């Protein structure tokens, strides 16, 4: 990667050099063309004037020789003179002699050659008579080609053009070499060092080459500034990395201690849950689906033997995790205390008493309308008093229903729409008991709303009571351990990649038709989720 970056930078520098060289060449070319054009114009003008002066001199010399033959109308002699003149000077394209009163030439000599530009020279032919008078007897007309002028001009400009091209090439070479040495190479090293710093190599520095140690120009200042910046960045980075490492280690230690505490709290929470053998002793069959959202839970369920049967309950306390676990400990202690004081004969009365004692324990006795704080906690609770000897089950619930599955289908015993322990909102409905006769083949289910409110599926909707009813209906004939597997699998498939929304607790049980002789001692256990 470093080699590729170096090649990229080098190509970039060559492109800069090419652009600057192109500007120099274009400027020099324009200046050179203008200079050559001006020089060509001057040389051409000078050569043309010299040609005209030479033609005037030749014409003046020939008019004296032509005066006599023209006066005597000796056309042959005139022709011989102008042909000789034509042959002597290759620049002459035509020579003609005219008499004064005639428009046609007396004699004319044409030269063979390519057509081109020419200049015309006319010289009068004068004759001095015996009387001493000078008479105008004719005109000598010469056509001189300017090809000679063009050749001389080109010959004169070739050294100038060659010198100009040589100067241009030399200047471009010198400027390119100095530009590459003084500017582009240091910029290339600066770019490579900047790439290294950008990719985390904070130790990269620009090392001056021979003769660059004491540069006081912009490149030297830029080099020193970059090195200072790189040193500062490296120092800050090393300090930051050291601090981040220290903070990370400290946070890891804190997190480890917190998790150790939470895990130990989970052991404490689990230790007060009813053991499987306790449930087996009082129930014909059962399953418990207990799934905290975090390590510890805000749900709990309890099962204890009472005077004339068994008391089973499921509760959903405010919150989850550590706050919810604290609430379960409070609610469980309150529930056990109320049962110890009042007995379990009236589950509705137990709910009312738990409501009052939780509210008092959390100092939430005041009316909600007069309360200005943000602390308001409680729980939902369902209690089932199982009387195997009488063949009845007494249910009372605060927002948690009881589901009964039997040969006739699935029936839901609705709970009172009122929670326990929260601040009072005025008149609230009273808790009531619902008694049902225990029949063979019946299965009972209690669950918190964490199961039915779990989001999933393609549309992210809740699991819902209807789906739970369908799942139970499809597996109601199975042993309860198998039912637990079916319900858990159905929930997991529905949930998919969605996070668990709340603590989930579900208890399914079947009752023995005959009473089991009691031991006389009451055992209590509560599972919190």
Higher pLDDT, 507 or 158: 507
Residue 68, C-beta contacts closer than 8 angstroms, at least 6 positions apart: 74, 127
Residue 157's CB is within 10 A of a number of other CB atoms, namely 17
Rounded Cα distance between 328 and 265, Å, is: 12
Tell me what pLDDT residue 10 has: 47
What's the chain's average pLDDT? 83
Written as six digits, the tokens of 448 are 């918190």
Rounded Cα distance between 301 and 96, Å, is: 140
3-state secondary structure 89-121: CCCEEEEEEEECCCCCEEEEEECCCCCCCEEEE
- pLDDT(213) > 70: no
Task: Report the DSSP pairing between strands 118-128 and 134-145.
Answer: antiparallel
Tell me what pLDDT residue 44 has: 77
Most confident of 15-24, 202-211, 256-265, 428-437: 428-437
For 167-205, the pLDDT digits (tens) are 878 887 888 777 777 777 777 777 887 888 788 777 777
- Once rounded to an integer, what is the mean pLDDT over residues 318-342? 93
Tell me what pLDDT residue 517 has: 46
Predicted confidence band of residue 342 (pLDDT cuts 50, 70, 90):
very high
Predicted confidence band of residue 395 (pLDDT cuts 50, 70, 90):
very high
Least trusted range by pLDDT, from 117-126, 322-331, 386-395, 475-484: 117-126
**In 234-273, beta strands by DSSP E:** none
Phi, psi (deg, nearest 5) at residue 443: -130, 135
For 68-127, the pLDDT digits (tens) are 787 777 778 888 888 887 778 777 878 888 888 777 887 887 877 677 777 888 888 888
Tell me what pLDDT residue 524 has: 40
* Residue 20 Cα distances to 14, 34, 173, 222, 450, angstroms: 10, 21, 12, 21, 73
């Amino acid at each position: 990667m470093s080699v590729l970056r170096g090649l990229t930078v080098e190509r970039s520098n060559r492109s800069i050099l090419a652009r600057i060289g192109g500007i120099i060449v274009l400027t020099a070319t324009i200046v050179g063309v203008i200079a050559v054009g001006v020089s060509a114009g001057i040389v051409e003008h000078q050569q043309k004037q010299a040609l005209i002066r030479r033609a005037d001199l030749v014409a003046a010399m020939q008019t004296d020789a032509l005066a006599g033959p023209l006066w005597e109308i000796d056309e042959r002699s005139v022709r011989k003179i102008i042909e000789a003149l034509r042959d002597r000077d290759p620049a002459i394209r035509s020579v003609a002699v005219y008499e004064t009163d005639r428009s046609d030439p007396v004699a004319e000599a044409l030269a063979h050659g390519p057509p081109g530009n020419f200049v015309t020279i006319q010289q009068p032919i004068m004759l001095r008579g015996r009387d001493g008078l000078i008479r105008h007897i004719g005109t000598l007309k010469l056509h001189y080609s300017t090809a000679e002028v063009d050749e001389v001009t080109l010959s004169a400009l070739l050294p100038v053009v060659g010198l100009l091209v040589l100067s241009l090439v030399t200047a471009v070479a010198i400027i390119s070499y100095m530009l590459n040495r003084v500017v582009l190479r240091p910029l290339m090293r600066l770019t490579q060092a900047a790439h290294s710093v950008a990719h985390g190599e904070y130790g990269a520095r620009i090392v001056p080459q021979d003769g660059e140690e004491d540069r006081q120009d912009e490149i030297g200042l830029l080099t020193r500034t970059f090195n200072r910046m790189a040193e500062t960045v490296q120092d800050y980075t090393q300090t930051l990395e050291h601090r981040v490492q220290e903070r990370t280690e400290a946070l890891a230690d804190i997190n480890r201690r917190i998790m150790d505490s939470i895990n130990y709290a989970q052991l404490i929470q689990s230790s007060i849950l009813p053991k499987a053998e306790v449930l087996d002793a009082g129930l014909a069959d059962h399953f418990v689906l207990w799934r905290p959202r975090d390590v510890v839970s805000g749900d709990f369920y309890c099962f204890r033997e009472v005077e004339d049967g068994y008391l089973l309950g499921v509760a959903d306390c405010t919150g989850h995790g550590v706050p919810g676990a604290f609430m379960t400990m409070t609610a469980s202690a309150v529930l056990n205390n109320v049962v110890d004081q009042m007995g379990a004969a009236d589950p509705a009365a137990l709910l009312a008493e738990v409501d009052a004692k939780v509210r008092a324990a959390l100092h939430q006795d005041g009316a909600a309308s007069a309360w200005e704080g943000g602390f308001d906690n409680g729980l939902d609770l369902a209690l089932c008093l199982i009387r195997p000897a009488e063949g009845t089950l007494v249910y009372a619930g605060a927002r948690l229903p009881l589901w009964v599955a039997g040969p006739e289908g699935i029936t839901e015993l609705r709970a009172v729409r009122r929670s326990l322990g929260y601040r009072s909102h005025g008149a609230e409905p009273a808790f009531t008991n619902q008694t049902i006769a225990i029949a063979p083949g019946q299965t009972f289910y209690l669950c918190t709303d964490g199961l039915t409110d779990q989001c999933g599926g393609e549309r992210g909707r809740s699991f819902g009571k209807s789906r739970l009813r369908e799942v139970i209906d499809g597996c109601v004939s199975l042993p309860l351990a198998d039912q637990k597997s079916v319900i858990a699998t159905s929930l997991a498939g529905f949930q998919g990649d969605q996070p668990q929304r709340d603590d989930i607790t579900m208890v399914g049980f079947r009752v023995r038709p005959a009473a089991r002789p009691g031991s006389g001692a009451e055992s209590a256990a509560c599972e919190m989720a």
